[in-house]
Amino acid sequence: MYSQDTRTVSEPVIPPVCTVLKAQLSSGPTGLPIESESLLDTGRVQAALDACPNGQAVELRSDQQNNAFLLSPIVIKKSVVLLVDEDVIVFGSRNPRDYDADSRLACGTLAATNTGCLPLIQAYHADKAGLMGFGVIDGRGHLPMLINGKPADMSWWDLAAKAQTLSLNQNCPKLVQLWVDTNFTVYKITLKNSPFFHLESLGGSGLTVWGLKVIAPYDARNTDAVDLIYTTNVTVTNSFLSEGDDNIAVGGSSPGASNITVVDSHFGDGHGASIGNYAQKGINNVLFDRISFSGDTANANQIGIRIKSDVSTGGLVNNITYQNVCMQNVRSAIVVDPFYNRTATGSSLPEFRNIVLKNIHATTEGIVKIQGHDAAVPTSITLNNVQIDGVRSTDVTTQYTKFELGPDPVNLASMLTGTGNSINNAISSKNPPYDCPPAAFPKVIGELIPALQTLSFSQDITVKAQLFPAKALPYATYQTNLKRNPSATLDLPAPTGTITILDGLTAVGTFKLNGGRLFSIPLSHLAVGKHTLNATYSGDTNYPAISFGNYTLEVIDHFPSQTSLTVSSGNIVAGGSVTLTAMVTGTAGIPTGTVTFAAGDNQLATTTLDSNGNAQFNWNVVPGGSYVLTATYGGSSVYAAAAGPAVSVLVVPARSTTTVAPDAPVHMVGDDLVLSVVVAGTTLGLLVPSGTVDLFDGVNKLATVTLDATGAGSYTTNTLDLGIHSITCLYSGDATFVSSSSEVATAEIVDQPASSAASHSIQRPKRIILEKLQLRHKL
């Protein structure tokens, strides 16, 4: 197939968020109150976009009753996404001065050109950037412009209508303009009521438009939904486009447009799937596939398939395919027109080659116009299974066209009788027309908004759904209503009835609609396994039933969790205090429950996780030695239990102090001398030293004393010699405390009471020497 994007395109994924901006304004049924119209959010939104790292998004989020942002022109930079949440509405400023492109102050005026306004959202060379989210961007083209803070007597759309009357150009801002971007993505966003074009892409390649919604009245002039001008490799899919001009317009001004796919989309009001009118540098390889057009019987300007140009903007339009197309209430079903502007002058002849229409079915009568420019520049077109129900010969205009018919029927084959035509009729089958059931023409748009992709069996789940009309009220009707009701809006009546969420064929949630466009629908518990959720809308007197959405999730027994353990210090001393911290993480929010701390087989404590998924325990009594510490999460209804990696620690012994003291400083020879030993730790009394103490008299060991439970001990002796003795002791240490030695304590042994000994102290040395000599003599 020639006519397609050469890329393989998959559904976009919303990137991580760098910044969340909360709404500060509140929107009512008719928009913003006048006192809020000067409270622009432009500065903080632009600053966030400028500061956001590549590959991330700035998220616009509601805040309680506040759901609106007010913007003047902003610029999306390279590789950054503007993300608009589903309950947020972004309003474009109504002040023309906010959009002025230069010093002419031309925005909001009529002129010979329409270059006086900046777009509301612009992306210039913003490769890999995007505009995403299920929210709304509303250009408010129907509301009066604000001049010096006061409503003018004209809206942007009134200005456009006046421009047409005076053959001038309106200077109105476009809603979104992409300029020479590569791989830009527009995903799920709703664009409404643009003063001018809703989305315009100029140059660049690799544009993906997925799930775009465009809604504006059919009588709002020049409100094209998607314009693709000299752009290549584009895919537009799963989109709903309804407004007042081209639903899709492909233009081929320099350097031309090519390789464009528009598929699986619904066009409401508008001027159809259009090729041209600018084609000077060629338009090649365009595919429209599985498209429906649903017009309005009051709109005589409704168009379906259209290829248009003239001698001022003509060029080669080649390899264009429309297939699998349904139409209803489309006044001009097929238009191939090289005379788009019949007063145009120039020499750029429009040439339409290799146009293919296959499986085209208009279920209501429509006009068919297929023309070549002249005999030298004919149009070549294939019609295969093309049916316009109720078509009459007066509906068909053809000239200078080479027709290839078949092999499936073409019910207007006998009406292709215009000047300069040639027909190769190869119809050989009686196959029925392409099937176009009522469901092919949806009047409401439904979305399921994905949330959790994985949840545990015990978790409750609420699905958000959007359901809203696919079209707007005609602008003329709105203006009439406004005269009777100052609160009139462009919105069609909200759907009533019910939304049912289905898991396969089983209903798992039902919601009765109560107005609005966004609904939260609680679901019953889903069994363990993978589920694909879809939704059905019951329909009401205004809107037929539809099915919509595709939300895949997996229910598991428990989510896996991860537990980690950290120790507050790597230098742990016995008897000190150290903090153990466990952090439990998971993929479905912050885990709850408890963590058990242990040292080996010894359970230390069980602590409840805080709001951040952390638990702490202060280990105050730590005997010395090597320990293997663990933290084990006990699990919850959502998360499975998990033990974190063990942490090995070494607890070093603490210092000790040893003292020895005699029961009295002086003893009579032969009396008991009691030496008391105390070993104390430096751990504030939390731990007590154990083990033994060696007692010394000078260098002579007296005894080894075992400490009791209080760290004390004693030794009694009555064999010490007369004289002064230097008593010391040495603590041997244990696992908790290091060894230590005492200061010297003195004990004196005398042969008479202490008072007498003191009075004859001068004679003592001679007496001691004499007693020692006598003792040796006896031996």
Please state whether the peptide bond connecting residue 54 to the residue before it is cis, i.e. omega within 30 degrees of 0: no
- Cα-trace Rg, the chain: 45
**C-beta atoms surrounding 234 within 10 Å:** 27
For residues 255 and 487, give the distance between their C-alpha atoms in angstroms, rounded to a whole number.
Answer: 47
Closest CA to 464 of 26, 81, 134: 134
Residue 587 tokens read as 């993929």
Q: What is the pLDDT of residue 654?
A: 86
CA atoms within a 13 Å half-sphere pointing along the CA-CB vector of 271: 23
State the pLDDT at residue 622.
72
Question: What is residue 683's predicted lDDT score, i.e. its pLDDT?
Answer: 63
* Tokens at 637, concatenated: 């209804």
Distance separating alpha carbons of residues 267 and 288, to the nearest angstrom: 12
Q: What pTM was computed for the model?
A: 0.80
Residue 180, classed as helix, strand or coil, is: coil
Contact 380, 336 (CB under 8 A): no
Summarize pLDDT for 395-416 with one digit per residue, the tens.
999 999 999 999 999 999 999 9
As a whole number of angstroms, the distance between CA 337 and CA 310 comes to: 8
Judging by beta carbons within 10 Å of its beta carbon (0-12, 13-18, 19+), is residue 611 exposed, middle or buried? exposed
CA distance 521 to 698: 90
Active site residues: 245, 271
For 384, the token pair is: 């295969």
pLDDT value for 755: 52
**Shortest CA distance to 576 belongs to which of 453, 742, 438, 687?**
687
Can you give the three-state secondary structure of 243-297, one letter per residue?
CCCCCEEEECCCCCEEEEEEEEEEECCCCCEEECCCCCCCEEEEEEEEEEEECCC
Joined tokens for residue 423: 């027909």
- CA distances 400 to 123, 337, 378, 726, Å, are 43, 11, 5, 133
**292 token code pair:** 């429906």
Q: What is the pLDDT of residues 510-568, one digit of tens each?
A: 999 989 999 999 998 888 899 999 999 999 999 999 999 999 998 888 888 999 999 98
Q: Find, among 582, 668, 583, the residue nearest to 629 by Cα.
A: 582
Q: What gap in Å lies between CA 70 and CA 479, rounded to an integer?
A: 24
Pairwise CA distance, residues 734 & 299, whole Å? 99
Q: Which element (helix H / strand E) includes 484?
A: helix 475-484
The pLDDT value recorded for residue 685 is 59
In the chain, which stretches have pLDDT less than 50? Answer: 1-2, 756-779
Angle at 300 between CA 414 and CA 228, to 5 degrees: 90
CA 199 from centroid of its chain's CA atoms: 22
What does the pLDDT read at residue 493? 96
Best CA proximity match to 244, nearest among 346, 139, 323: 139
Secondary structure of residue 122 in the 3-state scheme: strand
Residue 397 pLDDT:
98
